[in-house]
Structure 1
Amino acid sequence: MPTQGWSELGGRLRAMREAAGVSLNAMAAKTHYSKPYLSQLERGIRAAGSDHVTAYSRALNVAADALSGPSQDPLRVAHEWLVADTPVALHREAGRRVGESLVDELERRVIELRLLDDTIGGGDLIPLVRRELADTAEVVKCGSYTEPVGRRLRIVVGELAQLVGWVASDAGNYLEAERTYLDGVSAAQEAGDSALAGQLLSSLAYQMSDVGNPADAALLAKSAVAGARTASPVVRTLLLERVAWANARSRDREATRRALDAVDDAYEERSPGIAEPHWVYWMSRDEIDVMAGRCLIEMGDPVSAAPLLTAAIDGYDADHAREVALYQTWLAESYARAGELDAARGVIERARSAAADVNSVRLIRRVEAIRRLVS
């Protein structure tokens, strides 16, 4: 998706629908989203994302680019963020009591930053998200606000902590990521948001699966699921994926298969009528297939993994260069472990070429590991 405000994107979706003479009722029937849900998307109350653009594109028979608008250079957008004053800094200068308008702006900004992570490597994004988290945490600590505003502020802190941890891990700063995830858990718990606390703990478990002890990661990932008992279906899908990956890295075949089955069951329970937090906007059937393919490789079944990975990569947005390249590394590994070395070398070279333009330690290390495997 191009980097732009999600309220702006919702307005563009509405304009294109109205220009085509399609009512909200008709669009609901064409897309299988409910009429109230689509109305909230178009008015900017809910965040519009790539899945919604795809649904509108198919329903209106127009190109996705026409709906999402002209692309911007994500690095330029990031630089503009970095040199501009944050809403917290402007509010601090005015010396006002913290109200809903500031929280509204902070909630919008965390979504914008999360979407930037789709197209910018951790090395470029980390200074932006660090600053945003520090400013928002200062408001929580020193500001004056009502209890409802305070809860929303703590949720923003928790969401920013998850984003900072994720970006720091992508940049290779694992200790910073761990500390930030745990700080975020505290903020989420203070806000009473068990789903967000589970997301933070499972994000840490995901890191531990790759750079720590996978058995400890599996225990932590299971704890995240247990602590988020009332989580929505797509949130449960995400948390269970982290359980599957930790079990796969621990070489526990049976536990991995059970977790992958639970992932499928949770995802099938999703519904337009069930509210989901924005931080699971990227979860899709392709993402589930990628994780299943990765787990199959870990369990010694690379032949079954390759078709899942290939189909997912083919359907992925080319603007998301890091994710596409990362998924290509697993496809290359599946070929290599199946003895198809020429195919593996071709795929990993495509991933290496993409990695040259992305400031991501995680991607660079993964590419080099697979290049060594096929050399």
Structure 2
Amino acid sequence: MEMTIGEALRAARLAAGVSLDAMAPRAHFSKQHLSNVETGKRAASPAVVAAYAEALGVPTETLMDPLPDPLRVAHEWLVTDSPQVVESRSGRNVGASLAGEVEGRVIELRHLDDRLGGEDLAPVVEEELLDTEQIVRDSAYSDAVGRRLLISVGELAQLAGWVASDAGSYRQAEKHYLSGVGAATRAGDRPLGANLLSSLAYQMANVGKPADVRDALLLARTAVKGADGATPTVQTLLLERVAWSAARAREVGTAMRTLDQVDDVFECRSPGDEDPEWVYWMSRDEISTMRARVLVELGRPSDAEPLLLDVLSRYPEDAHRESSLYWSWLAEAYARAGELDQARQALDTAAGYAAQVNSPRADSRLVVVRGLLPG
């Protein structure tokens, strides 16, 4: 459950609000070298760690020592006053420094979601969202600071919706997604608003009634259409949700054409893109996984198996919820292809990962796949 040094370096950089492009000249290493260190492709040398510590103004020890258990971090977060609460008590005008603190905390919470289930993380995110909404509602600030705070509210609302959905609280998740759209609209952040709408579409496609699935496809398409200024990576995320909604609605042609569009758009990325941090997890492996899921949904499980096996061969084992979900999708592919022994083995692996995280979503996937197996 401990972070690697590379992951700790990345977390510290993101918490400071520093992009990899900006970090490279500060640390006097190439952007590619730093990327390789952060992703574990190269070892983190003492010189790199020292460069991060100096550039970010943090003690070297904090970057070298393993980070604490994420569940303990979440509980400490709940019992400690946030800077938003401290600032509101002081009665002072809110400045850029607090906006930066809030942005850093949003990033930390988002990355905690990689390691915690929704039932553990939901109350933490809810508290942070309420504190930030109070600052926006009750404090004085400049237009520029106000926009940054509203964007943080929108991002927190998206994360609150995501973890509530993971915890099985679908109505609460819908409430968060829709309120977040309002904050994103006030901030003039169209891509963020589109992400909130497509997140809601994704939930509707997964757990809604047949009529909801049709609405999910419409909503996902609307998000793509309204995402003015979105980078190719953001467009990739939005289009993936269109493809999934189309598959759930049994619109085979739309689903497959959209998957091809996903591939094309993702290849349009360039080094100068200013991607929002909330799309950090989008990768070629995530695209392959979504293609596999769509293929299973459309009755082509044998085509999905090699895609999932390839992704799982290098997927990080400490991402317990995602690992459980990915193995459950492989188990479903095997089951629907009639390969029952492989399905049971994959399901056992999925259950092992699910036992290590408090995620009703992962647990419900196990129930679904078990229902496909005789006996």
**Normalized against structure 2, the TM-score is what?**
0.86
Structure 1 residues 118-139: Cα deviation after superposition (integer angstroms, max 9, x where no partner): 0000000011000000010111
Distance 1:68 1:236, change over 3 A: farther
Take 1:73 and 1:124, find their aligned partners in 2: how far apart are those partners?
13
In structure 2, the CA distance between the partners of 1:51 and 1:208, relative to structure 1 (3 Å rule), is farther
Output aligned runs, 1:137-156, within 5 Å: 137-156=133-152
Separation in 2, partners of 1:5, 1:130: 29
CA contact (8 A) 2:201 2:216 kept: yes
* Aligned counterparts of 1:7 and 1:345: Cα–Cα separation in 2: 33
Partner of 2:227: 228
Rounded to whole Å, the distance in 2 between the matches of 1:251 and 1:41 is 51
Q: Identity of aligned pairs, percent?
A: 52
Residues 10 and 164 from structure 1, CA distance in 2 versus in 1: closer, same or farther, beyond 3 angstroms?
A: closer
Pick aligned residue for 1:85 from 81, 85, 105: 81
CA distance in 2, matches of 1:11, 1:214: 37
8 Å CA contact 1:123–1:170 kept in 2: the answer is yes
The 1:332–1:35 alpha-carbon spacing in structure 2 relative to 1, beyond 3 Å, is closer
Aligned counterpart, 2:336: 337
User: Structure 1 residues 105, 59: closer, same or farther in 2, change over 3 A?
Assistant: closer
Number of the residue aligned with 1:172: 168
Is the Cα–Cα contact under 8 Å of residues 336 and 344 in structure 1 kept in the other structure? Answer: yes
Given candidates 97, 110, 114, the residue that maps to 1:114 is: 110
Equivalent position SS for 1:230: coil
Give, as a single letter, the amino acid of the residue that structure 2 aligns with 1:39.
Answer: A
Q: Is the 8 A contact 1:244 1:259 kept in 2?
A: yes
* Unpaired runs of at least 5, structure 1: 14-33
Cα distance in 2 between the residues matched to 1:92 and 1:329: 45
Q: Is the 8 A contact 2:236 2:266 kept in 1?
A: yes
User: What is the distance in 1 between the residues matched to 2:87 and 2:279?
Assistant: 30
- Structure 1 residues 203 and 3: CA distance shift in structure 2, 3 A: farther
Alpha-carbon shift at residue 71 of structure 1 (Å)? 4.5
> Counterparts of 1:36 and 1:194 in 2: how far apart (Å)?
24
Deviation, structure 1 residue 70: 2.2
Deviations 1:223-282 (A, max 9, x none): 000000320010000000000000011111100011101111111111221110000001
Would the aligned equivalents of 1:10 and 1:41 in 2 still touch at CA under 8 Å? Answer: no
What per-residue deviation string (whole Å, max 9, x for no partner) do you get for residues 341-370 of structure 1? 000001101111221221111110111110
Supply the distance in 2 between the matched residues of 1:127 and 1:8 (Cα, whole angstroms).
24
C-alpha distance in structure 2 between counterparts of 1:301 and 1:332, whole Å: 14
Equivalent residues in 2 for 1:66-215, closer than 5 Å: 70-212=66-208, 213-215=212-214
User: What is the deviation of 1:49?
Assistant: 10
Give, as a single letter, the amino acid of the residue that structure 2 aligns with 1:208.
M
Q: Secondary structure at the match of 1:57?
A: coil
CA deviation string 1:310-342 (max 9, x = no partner)? 111121111110001101101000000110000
What is the distance in 2 between the residues matched to 1:52 and 1:190? 38
Give the whole-Å Cα distance in 1 for the aligned partners of 2:8 and 2:347: 37
Pick the aligned partner of 1:54 from 32, 39, 63: 39
Partners in 1 of 2:260 and 2:188 — Cα distance? 29
Kept in 2, the 8 Å contact 1:10–1:42? The answer is no
Alpha carbons of 1:323 and 1:80: their partners in 2 closer, same or farther (altered >3 Å)? same
Structure-2 change in CA distance of 1:290 and 1:35 (3 Å): closer
- State whether residues 3 and 66 of structure 2, in contact with CA within 8 Å, keep that contact through their aligned partners in structure 1: no
Answer yes or no: is 1:39 the counterpart of 2:24.
yes
1:273 is aligned to 272
Compared with structure 1, are the counterparts of its residues 11 and 279 closer, same or farther at alpha carbon in structure 2 (3 Å cutoff)? closer
**Residue identity opposite 2:164 in structure 1:** A
The answer to whether the 8 Å contact 2:6/2:44 transfers is no
Q: Is the 8 A contact 1:232 1:276 kept in 2?
A: yes
Q: 1:256 to 1:356 in 2, by over 3 A?
A: same
Structure 1 counterpart SS, 2:114: coil
Alignment partner, residue 9 of structure 1: 9
Does the alignment pair 1:358 with 2:357? yes
Contact 2:37 2:43 in 1 (8 A): no
Q: In 2, distance between residues paired with 1:317 and 1:39?
A: 26
- Between the aligned partners of 1:191 and 1:179, the Cα distance in structure 2 is 19
**Structure 1 contact 2–68 (Cα < 8 Å) conserved:** no
Does structure 1 retain, via aligned residues, the 8 Å contact 2:119–2:167? yes
Give 2:247's aligned residue. Answer: 248
1:30-82 deviations in whole A, cap 9, x for unaligned?
A: xxxx9845427959xx9x9987612761798x9xxxx8862531111111111
Residues 313 and 86 (structure 1), Cα distance of their counterparts in 2 relative to 1, 3 Å cut: same
| Aligned residues between the structures | 348
Distance 1:79 1:3 in 2: 18
Using a 3 Å threshold, how does the CA distance of structure 1 residues 40 and 190 change in structure 2: closer, same or farther? Answer: farther
In the aligned structure 2, how far is the partner of 1:171 from the partner of 1:325?
A: 15
CA distance in 2, matches of 1:275, 1:220: 25
Q: Which amino acid aligns with 1:144?
A: A
Counterparts of 1:262 and 1:364 in 2: how far apart (Å)?
32
